[in-house]
Structure 1
Amino acid sequence: MPESLNVSIYEDIEKFGLKAPDIAVPHTPSYGQCAEDIIVCAALRALAFKEQLDLSKEFYLEIGANHPIATSATWLLHRSLGMHGVLVEANPHLLDNLKRVRPHDVVLHAAVIATDAPTAQIFISSKDELSSTNKDFLAEWPGEPMELEGDIVVPALRINDVITQYMNGKSPLFLSIDVEGEDLTILSDLDLTRFRPAIIQIEPSDHFLENNSRDICDVMQRNTYDLIGRTNVNLIFSDSARSQLSQKSVADLQATKETLCEAEKENDRLLQRFSELNEHVLSSS
């Protein structure tokens, strides 16, 4: 297939009656919903240049894979950068195409949730992109009409367990979360003191959760991530702690978390001791 031209450029050139460029401007491939994959590719290429990484040996994690190509957050990363990784999809009707088109990836059938429950209920939409564990998300969808086709119970995993069990405990270089209304819940469950994706893309769904973009940005800022891109659909963050200057922030965050855990244990011990003493006093009186 011959290389296609950038339609947007040539349509505007014709509109304003301009001379066509002497050197043809080719179309830049993109498969993301709002070309987020071009932004992510550029950020990863810059990171690879800076840190001397071989991107073909790096991994991505896409939670809510849906279609293997259309609106995919990772298809361009595989085609252009040679990356591969894990695709998580809860809707069983989408698995065959994912496995057929993406044999270089691990296709995992599961709903990612923020509890230790072994299964989860998902609600299947007539539009594949909108199936969700959150029934209210479907009921309040403001776009084109769609129907709830039913609900099913599927295997469930937490995000940290996906990385531990299916990525050998190695943090993905790129993480995409697109789970229709539960994105911040999953992001908040990710242990960013253990797993630090260099780039994180997440769908805020502000139409469903008011000010969710701001809430997500607050969480990311507390964990030393910078907002580097915002489209009509997604937010894109980079890990500022990969710089030498910010690595101390992550170490301090880990130390603070460990201190809080120890404090909670001591508090539980004291409460237990108080309860025992209280029972002793009551039994003696």
Structure 2
Amino acid sequence: MSTFVSYAQNFEDVILRRVLADVHGGFYVDVGAQHPLRDSVTRAFYERGWRGINIEPVSEWHGLLQVDRPEDLNLKLAIGAAPGNMAFYEVRGTGLSTADADIAARHRMEGFEVTLNAVEVSTLDAVLEQHAKPQIHFLKIDVEGGELGVLRGLSLSRYRPWVIVVEATLPNSQENASAAWEPILLENGYKRVYNDGLNHFYLADEHSELAARFAYPPNFFDNFVRHADWERAEDARRLAEENERLLLHIDDVEERHRVAMERARASEEHLRGLEAHVRELEEIRRELEGNLGATRSEASTLAARCAQLERELAMVTQSRSWRITRPLRRVSEMVGAHRRFPSAAPGYQSAGEEIVLPPPVTQGVLLVPDEARLLELANSAAGEPLVARPQPMPIPRGRIEAILSELQALSHPPRTLPPKIDRLPGANVLRTPVLRFYERLFRKQSLINARMTEALRILLENQRDR
């Protein structure tokens, strides 16, 4: 059994629930219903599927009933002994409104705000005749001193509520006021079966079997809780749920914060890694700039060396051997004996960095003109007029031998770079192209020297023959 929530002022609904426990979907009539929730005898039954008639002359409470009890019949009336209109004293904001002028005056003296209004009056018989169901399970009357008029307008021989609950004390007191109206109930087949200190409960004789259920007041075994306590428990439950939700939210926020901190730390580590990478790149940049400077220096050195080689080449072309062989080169061009030699002329081999000269000229092969023609062409190349001379110009023998010795010393290219060049940065890069240059230069020079040597040997042999 679920816990029963009691809305009534003095647990009237707990007693009625116990007595009418066998009734489901019952019907009630509430005369002086007042607030639909606060101190309501019928609210708990409405929540359990009961329906009924709520009668309330105060506009404020009637409006709330219309909103809160849409499936009940809510009538804005006062109930009396006869239909019509009456003066009604509304005690604002309370359930003390009354048709009794003396009671209203006492409330005014106690400080309540009292307003006089005219309200429509009907009898309970008229209301029940028009709206009641055949079975009325309980009738509750709380009209602040007007109970006698309500009962006089009710035909108890015709309408037989199982239980009638009537407020039996004067308003806001424990003074019993039931003597004026209780005889009507007792004379019409009802017995008082319970007094809760505020209300008298009357049971119809035809339902006397229920009398035993009034034997004791509301207690632990009725399994109920006051609405105010239930509201506090609900508030506590809602607060607990909200607290749980907040705790979960806090856990979630803390987890997000933890994840955010881990990401921040990871980002910080990544940033440190990037900074280290930037520093590494900066070092590489500085190293490249240094290498670029060194390369530029080497390039400058190479340019200077090329200039030096050009100067040395110019010195070679201006050397004595070059000048001595100039007539021969001129003669070769004039007689068509000049040949262009490729980088690897036939009969020449490169052994490492050493040029191997060809063997001596084969006997019987004429490599140069005869002496007379040679001298004649040499004189012509020197710019002198061509004159036939029967005898060659005599050349000292010692001079020819000195020239031969000098030519032989110029026959082989150097095998290593000069020490000053070899110590320069990038000498390893320079070595091969420079030695190649020397090799080509000396190869051509060796060919020239070979021709010159042959010519000078012929001259020496001719001198010996004379």
Q: Which of the five TM-score ranges fits, normalised by the shorter chain? A: 0.5 to 0.7
* Distance in 1 separating the partners of 2:181 and 2:17: 22
* Distance in 2 separating the partners of 1:85 and 1:27: 23
Give aligned-pair identity as a percent.
28
What runs of 5+ residues in structure 1 fail to find an aligned partner?
1-25, 245-285
Cross-structure match for 2:97:
131
Verify: 1:188 aligned to 2:188, yes or no.
no
Match of 1:35 among 11, 14, 24: 11
Q: Mapping of 1:21-100 within 5 angstroms?
A: 28-45=4-21, 48=22, 53=23, 55-56=24-25, 58-80=26-48, 82-100=49-67
Cross-structure match for 1:177:
141
Q: For residues 116 and 171 of structure 1, do their structure 2 counterparts lie closer, same or farther at Cα, with a shift above 3 Å needed?
A: farther
1:160 is displaced (CA, Å) by: 0.4
Q: Mapping of 1:141-156 within 5 angstroms?
A: 141=107, 145-148=111-114, 150-156=115-121
1:141 is displaced (CA, Å) by: 4.3
Q: For residues 173 and 153 of structure 1, do their structure 2 counterparts lie closer, same or farther at Cα, with a shift above 3 Å needed?
A: same
The residue type paired with residue 239 of structure 1 is: A
* Distance in 1 separating the partners of 2:113 and 2:119: 20
* Distance in 2 separating the partners of 1:133 and 1:142: 14
Cα RMSD after superposing both structures: 2.5
* Distance in 2 separating the partners of 1:115 and 1:205: 24
What runs of 5+ residues in structure 2 fail to find an aligned partner?
210-466
Q: Secondary structure at the match of 2:5?
A: coil
Q: TM-score of the superposition, structure 1-length normalised?
A: 0.66
* Distance in 2 separating the partners of 1:177 and 1:243: 21
Q: Mapping of 1:192-271 within 5 angstroms?
A: 192-206=156-170, 211-242=176-207
* Distance in 2 separating the partners of 1:29 and 1:243: 27
1:183 is displaced (CA, Å) by: 1.0
Higher RCO (C-alpha 8 Å, min separation 6)? 1
- Say which one has the larger Rg: 2
1:94-140: CA deviations, max 9, x gaps? 222111111120111111111132x2221111342011122222223
Cross-structure match for 1:120:
86
The residue type paired with residue 43 of structure 2 is: W
Q: Is the helix fraction higher in 1 or 2?
A: 2
Q: Secondary structure at the match of 1:61?
A: strand
Q: For this pair of structures, how many residues does the alignment match?
A: 207
Q: For residues 114 and 75 of structure 1, do their structure 2 counterparts lie closer, same or farther at Cα, with a shift above 3 Å needed?
A: same
- Kept in 2: contact 1:160–1:190 (CA 8 A): yes
Q: For residues 164 and 201 of structure 1, do their structure 2 counterparts lie closer, same or farther at Cα, with a shift above 3 Å needed?
A: same
- Kept in 2: contact 1:204–1:216 (CA 8 A): no
* Distance in 2 separating the partners of 1:77 and 1:132: 26
Q: Secondary structure at the match of 1:192?
A: coil
